[in-house]
């Protein structure tokens, strides 16, 4: 065998999915009078607190807030959670979905956000910084490259409540901006 | 596990026992379970104490098997000098 | 046969081929065999599916896994043509929604598909189920089938450490993990039979396992005492089922044949053994510090006696028999939680 001998082989890779991007939506109106869904996750106490604070702020600002809680990916609990998201899509004008702060929970945050976007709802997925690229990849390969993602600091879970409240305050306007809320 | 090789190993030990009137019978060598089941026959032995003690006999059989059989096996020896398990 | 995948010219020298495969990012870090047309076609010839059949979509990048692409990866792994059906069946199993491939291929967890094979094909294909069956026995089927599945996830699914998978540690099984059940040494029906298949069928079961968790005892021959200790070991406080839903997931508990015999005498009905495990796989709530205990209370996980059970149901404990005759050991394959094991008949070999 010489240094120049070659052999032909077949490439083992596939092109990634998600060449096309489904449309993303914006509210382009004030928040008052609207119904906004907030999807919390049973696993993340930090996000439950932030979600609850944002729900209070939404009500203060004249919107109605509906909070749902998910936490499962498979089995009956998983089916129930996905059904809950579909039902939420039918009754809200927009939604905030979190929290992506681990691998699979980021995946399912994006999946649930995409499900809402497929119902033509403006939606913001909330993902912690460490998992942003992962979240963007999942959104892209689900065909929703333009899904809006709000990035929160990482790690979040073990922070004390006063820090979480400060984060909720700081990021609430950013969340509204991504939803396309106008003054 | 090759049953023919097991039989060869058993015969090696049985030959020694036969000199004293005893015998070692291969009841089963199952390659699906890797179990080798033998029976020690001492009915025609005039002096049972002269036959190797149970533990020593077991070790002797096991060593003979390891010389002929590759891999692991579970050895069961029905020895009339011992109560059944 | 017309293959449609791109052709790539590589060096014939195996060392330069290795470097090229690494540069192309096809490789898992270990030398591969060249996926020449001859090698791929020999594998495709054994499949009842046409080469362009889209078997499934593999996450995380949702690459379409055609039979041809799977065969290319199998050829690279060294899968013999007769074993290709196991690779295909494993990928089919992983594509069932309840296996949760999307979650498992992206998580921070170490979880990876662990393949358990039943049927006569174990011996025919070199799938290890005796001594060192989970690593070291070097059966061709065991070492190549699991690897082919791993290469498919890498090359078709686009699973790349630190990029599309967030697995913090990975685990050795990410090279590929495939072993068999020693059905003939089991006092209970084979795993595949318990999962609804005929005894004469060749079946692969894919479990989302976080690793191999070794258990050992040299002091206690009483089967109930030993099983009690195994149950307590399974319910380690940082086990995934304590983080999420106790209804989801399974743990495989592999007994060596000597222990299996002992357990079989004490629990001739495997469901009784599973119930016993479920009853005792628990810990007192006091074991956990306040922050963790509060979460377990909030989720209703603490029973009236102050115990937190690992799983909801006995059938989530999945016993099987394999391993060598040295006794003394069992191995658990702990659960990721949000995944249900899936089984498929191996097509063409059932």
Model confidence pLDDT, tens digit, residues A123-144: 999 999 999 998 998 999 889 9
When the pLDDT of each residue in chain C is averaged and rounded to a whole number, the result is 96
Q: What is the structure's pLDDT at C349? A: 47
Which residues of C are less than 8 Å from B72 in CB distance? 130-131, 324-326
C234 and C102 assigned to the same domain: no
C30 and C172 assigned to the same domain: yes
Cβ count within 10 A of residue A27 = 17
Q: What is the structure's pLDDT at C350? A: 43
Q: What is the structure's pLDDT at B47? A: 79
Is residue B19 very low, low, confident or very high in pLDDT (cuts 50, 70, 90)? confident
Instruction: Work out the angle between the directed axes of helices C140-155 and C67-77 (0-180°, nearest 10).
Output: 130
Mean pLDDT of C127-147: 97
Is residue C137 very low, low, confident or very high in pLDDT (cuts 50, 70, 90)? very high
Tell the burial category of A28 from Cβ atoms under 10 Å away from its Cβ (0-12, 13-18, 19+).
Answer: exposed
Q: In sequence order, which residues have a C-beta less than 8 Å from that of residue C320 and are 6 or more positions away?
A: C116, C181, C186, C191, C252, C253, C254, C255
What is the CATH code for A35-179?
3.40.50.10350
What CATH number is associated with residue B44? 3.30.300.130
The reply to whether B85 falls in a domain is no
**Is the CB of residue A141 less than 8 Å away from at least one CB of chain C?**
yes
Distance from CA of A78 to the nearest CA of C (A): 9
Note the pLDDT tens digit of each residue in C218-234.
Answer: 999 899 999 999 999 99
C175 and C58 assigned to the same domain: yes
Nearest CA in chain C to B35: C185
Q: What is the structure's pLDDT at B85? A: 65
Answer yes or no: do B32 and C184 touch at CB < 8 A: yes
Q: Where are the domains of chain A?
A: 35-179
Q: In sequence order, which residues have a C-beta less than 8 Å from that of residue C247 and are 6 or more positions away?
A: A72, A75, A76, A77, C311, C312, C313
Q: What is the structure's pLDDT at A1? A: 65
C169 and C45 assigned to the same domain: yes
* Contact status, residue C182 vs residue C130, Cβ threshold 8 Å: yes
What is the tally of structural domains in chain C?
Answer: 2
CA C326 to chain centre: 23
C18 and C79 assigned to the same domain: yes
**CA distance linking residue C121 with residue C27, whole number of Å:** 28
Mean pLDDT of A24-42: 96
Note the pLDDT tens digit of each residue in A93-113.
Answer: 999 999 999 999 999 999 999
Mean pLDDT of A155-182: 96
Q: Say what the pTM is.
A: 0.93
Q: Which long-range contacts (CB under 8 A, 24 or more apart) does B79-83 make?
A: B79/B40, B79/B54, B80/B40, B80/B42, B81/B42, B81/B48, B81/B54, B82/B54
Nearest CA in chain A to C64: A14
Q: What is the structure's pLDDT at B83? A: 80
Q: Which long-range contacts (CB under 8 A, 24 or more apart) does C28-34 make?
A: C28/C147, C28/C150, C28/C151, C28/C154, C28/C175, C30/C175, C32/C76, C32/C77, C33/C75, C33/C76, C33/C77, C33/C78, C34/A7, C34/A9, C34/C10, C34/C75, C34/C76
Alpha helices in chain A, H assignment, sequence order: 45-60, 75-91, 103-117, 132-141, 161-179
Range of the domain at C79: 14-209
Would you call C210 helix, strand, or coil by DSSP? coil
* Contact status, residue C289 vs residue C148, Cβ threshold 8 Å: no
**CA distance linking residue C300 with residue C227, whole number of Å:** 27
The reply to whether C1 falls in a domain is no
Range of the domain at B58: 3-78
Mean pLDDT of A77-98: 96
C308: left (phi over 0), alpha (psi -120 to 50) or beta: beta
On the question of pLDDT at C1 being above 90, the answer is: no
Of C165 and C38, the one with more pLDDT? C38
Q: Each residue of A142-154: b (16+ CB within 10 Å) or e? A: bbbbebbbbbbee
Q: What is the structure's pLDDT at C324? A: 97
**Interface chains of chain C (3 or more CB pairs under 8 Å):** A, B
Write phi, then psi, for C70 (nearest 5 degrees). -65, -40
On the question of pLDDT at B66 being above 80, the answer is: yes
Which DSSP state fits C338?
S
Note the pLDDT tens digit of each residue in A141-167.
Answer: 889 999 999 999 999 998 999 999 999
C318 and C272 assigned to the same domain: yes
DSSP string covering C269-317, please?
SHHHHHHHHHHHSEEEGGGS-HHHHHHHHHTT-B-TTSEEES-SSGGGE
Note the pLDDT tens digit of each residue in C188-204.
Answer: 999 999 999 999 999 99
C-alpha torsion A52→A56→A58→A63, nearest 10: 110
On the question of pLDDT at B40 being above 50, the answer is: yes
Answer yes or no: do A7 and C60 touch at CB < 8 A: no
- The two beta strands, A64-70 and C203-209, are unpaired
Query: The tokens 């004490």 sit on which residue?
Result: C266
Nearest CA in chain C to B32: C184
Mean pLDDT of A10-34: 91
What is the tally of structural domains in chain B?
Answer: 1
Instruction: Work out the angle between the directed axes of helices C37-44 and C67-77 (0-180°, nearest 10).
Output: 120
C60 and C178 assigned to the same domain: yes
Mean pLDDT of B22-39: 96
When the pLDDT of each residue in chain A is averaged and rounded to a whole number, the result is 94
């Amino acid at each position: 065998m010489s240094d120049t001998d070659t052999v032909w082989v077949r490439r083992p890779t596939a092109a990634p999915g998600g060449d096309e991007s489904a449309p993303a939506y914006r509210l382009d109106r004030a928040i008052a009078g609207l119904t906004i869904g907030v999807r919390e996750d049973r696993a993340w106490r930090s996000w439950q607190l932030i979600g609850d604070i944002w729900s209070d702020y939404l009500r203060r600002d004249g919107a109605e807030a509906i909070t749902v809680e998910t936490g499962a990916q498979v089995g009956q609990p998983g089916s129930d959670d996905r059904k809950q998201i579909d039902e939420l899509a039918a009754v809200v004008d927009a939604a905030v979905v979190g929290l992506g702060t681990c691998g699979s929970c980021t995946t399912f945050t994006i999946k649930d956000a995409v499900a809402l976007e497929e119902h033509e709802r403006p939606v913001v997925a909330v993902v912690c910084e460490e998992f942003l690229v992962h979240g963007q990849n999942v959104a892209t390969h689900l065909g929703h490259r333009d899904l809006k993602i709000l990035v929160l600091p990482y790690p979040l879970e073990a922070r004390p409540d006063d820090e979480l409240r400060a984060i909720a305050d700081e990021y609430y306007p950013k969340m509204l901006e991504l939803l396309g809320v106008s003054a | 596990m090759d049953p023919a090789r097991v039989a060869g190993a058993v015969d090696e030990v049985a030959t020694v026992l036969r000199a004293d009137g005893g015998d070692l019978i291969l009841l089963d060598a199952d390659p699906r379970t890797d179990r080798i089941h033998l029976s020690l026959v001492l009915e025609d032995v005039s002096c049972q104490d002269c036959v190797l003690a149970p533990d020593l006999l077991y070790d002797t059989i096991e060593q003979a098997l390891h010389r002929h059989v590759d891999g692991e096996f579970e050895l069961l020896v029905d020895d009339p000098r011992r109560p059944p398990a | 046969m017309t293959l449609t995948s791109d052709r790539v010219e590589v060096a014939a020298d195996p060392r330069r081929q290795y470097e090229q495969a690494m540069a192309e990012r096809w490789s898992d870090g270990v030398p591969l065999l060249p996926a020449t047309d001859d090698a791929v076609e020999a594998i495709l010839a054994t499949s009842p599916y046409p080469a362009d059949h889209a078997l499934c979509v593999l996450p995380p990048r949702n690459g379409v896994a055609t039979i041809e692409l799977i065969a290319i990866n199998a050829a690279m792994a060294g899968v013999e043509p007769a074993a290709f059906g196991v690779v295909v069946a494993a990928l089919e199993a992983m594509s069932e929604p309840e296996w949760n491939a999307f979650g498992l291929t992206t998580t921070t967890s170490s979880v990876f598909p662990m393949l358990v094979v039943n049927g006569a094909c174990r011996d025919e294909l070199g799938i290890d189920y005796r001594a060192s069956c989970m690593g070291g026995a070097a059966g061709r089927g065991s070492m190549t089938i699991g690897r082919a599945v791993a290469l498919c996830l890498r090359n078709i699914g686009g699973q790349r450490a630190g990029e599309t998978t967030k697995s913090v540690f990975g685990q050795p099984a990410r090279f590929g993990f495939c072993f068999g059940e020693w059905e003939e040494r089991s006092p209970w029906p084979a795993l595949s039979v318990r999962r609804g298949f005929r005894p004469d069928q060749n079946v692969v079961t894919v479990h989302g396992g976080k690793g191999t968790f070794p258990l050992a005892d040299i002091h206690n021959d009483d089967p109930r005492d030993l099983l009690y200790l195994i149950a307590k070991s399974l319910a380690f406080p940082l086990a995934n089922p304590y983080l999420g839903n106790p209804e989801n997931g399974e743990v495989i508990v592999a007994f060596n044949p000597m222990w299996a015999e002992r357990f079989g005498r004490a629990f001739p009905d495997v469901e009784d053994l599973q119930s016993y495990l479920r009853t005792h796989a628990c810990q007192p709530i006091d074991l956990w510090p306040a922050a963790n205990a509060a979460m377990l209370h909030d989720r209703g996980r603490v029973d009236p006696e102050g115990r937190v059970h690992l799983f909801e149901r006995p059938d989530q404990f999945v016993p099987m028999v394999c391993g060598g005759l040295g006794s003394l050991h069992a191995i658990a394959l702990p659960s990721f939680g949000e995944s249900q094991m899936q089984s498929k008949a191996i097509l063409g070999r059932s």
